[in-house]
Amino acid sequence: MKSAVDLVPELAKSLIDNPDLSLGPIVDHPLIRLIFYTPDQNEYLNDTFKQKQRDLKKSISNKKWDHVLMLHERPWRSWAFAQFAPYMKPAEYWENLASVYMDTEGVYAEKDMWIDLFNANVKQRRKMMNSSERKVIQDLPQHVTIFRGYNDLENTGHGLMSISWTLSEDLADWFARRFAGDPHALVAEGICKKSNILAYFNGREEKEIVVNPVDINIMDNRPAKALNLEDYSDLLDRH
């Protein structure tokens, strides 16, 4: 049955096939993302889109870059940051970069873009981290042991090429076991120079080290430890 209202052309162009064809297409626009799309939602989607456009125009005019970024759907925020970063003041650049990065799942797909953004020649880099996070980096040794928990379902080794690592081996085990079971859950141990660390974030209590994977010497790549709910209760509470 044809919807009484058509999607506005910009949203209609953003329709893509759903990997599960039985669920219908996906609306994948920077301002509107909907996994389970049906034509009877057109009027609501059009109204929401037009309101977001108005809000976006106002936020850009007022140079409210944090608002601009939040108006974009989560998978599009890194893209939006890259578009608007040239207009930001130095402190705004680093504060917004940290915020968008921390809100992004699966940074591997845009690894090269993130490395470029973290290496940007923009002043006031210290604004990217809070005082406690800066103190952690300051106190690290010149060579830092880091860990990454991941699953390698397709035996590609791509998990080793991520920019997201942690100082905590226990957290790495937890991340490895979060979605995958034996034998695909792995924990890599590496060493990097402190001078190569791009950032340290602990807003999610993950003791996260951001570093270009080419700057890491992999020392071990072992199966993740079995998940013991008692031992990991604190981690589970946080995540």
Indicate if 104 and 123 belong to the same structural domain.
Answer: yes
Number of domains in the chain: 3
User: What's the pLDDT score for residue 118?
Assistant: 98
Strand partners, 185: 151
Indicate if 138 and 119 belong to the same structural domain.
Answer: no
- 89, 171, 221 from 155: Cα distances, Å: 43, 22, 13
Indicate if 43 and 121 belong to the same structural domain.
Answer: no
- Cβ 200 vs Cβ 156: under 8 Å: no
- Tens digits of residue pLDDT in 55-71: 999 999 999 999 999 99
Structure-token pair, residue 20: 């599960």
CB atoms within 10 A of CB 71: 21
- Cβ 228 vs Cβ 187: under 8 Å: no
Mean pLDDT of 62-82: 97
Indicate if 176 and 141 belong to the same structural domain.
Answer: yes
CA 10: distance to chain centroid?
26
Can you tell me the distance from the alpha carbon of 202 to that of 223, in angstroms, rounded to the nearest whole number?
A: 25
Indicate if 147 and 190 belong to the same structural domain.
Answer: yes
Can you tell me the distance from the alpha carbon of 207 to that of 167, in angstroms, rounded to the nearest whole number?
A: 6
10 domain residue, yes or no: yes
Can you tell me the distance from the alpha carbon of 149 to that of 174, in angstroms, rounded to the nearest whole number?
A: 7
Indicate if 31 and 54 belong to the same structural domain.
Answer: yes
Q: What is the DSSP letter of 186?
A: E
User: What's the pLDDT score for residue 21?
Assistant: 62
105 domain residue, yes or no: yes
**Structural domain that includes position 214:** 130-238
Indicate if 84 and 51 belong to the same structural domain.
Answer: no
Can you tell me the distance from the alpha carbon of 148 to that of 154, in angstroms, rounded to the nearest whole number?
A: 17
Indicate if 6 and 105 belong to the same structural domain.
Answer: no
Q: What is the pTM of this model?
A: 0.88
67 domain residue, yes or no: no
Indicate if 23 and 58 belong to the same structural domain.
Answer: yes
Indicate if 54 and 114 belong to the same structural domain.
Answer: no
Indicate if 89 and 135 belong to the same structural domain.
Answer: no
Can you tell me the distance from the alpha carbon of 58 to that of 136, in angstroms, rounded to the nearest whole number?
A: 39
The confidence band for 108, taking pLDDT boundaries of 50, 70 and 90, is confident
3-class state of residue 204 by DSSP: coil
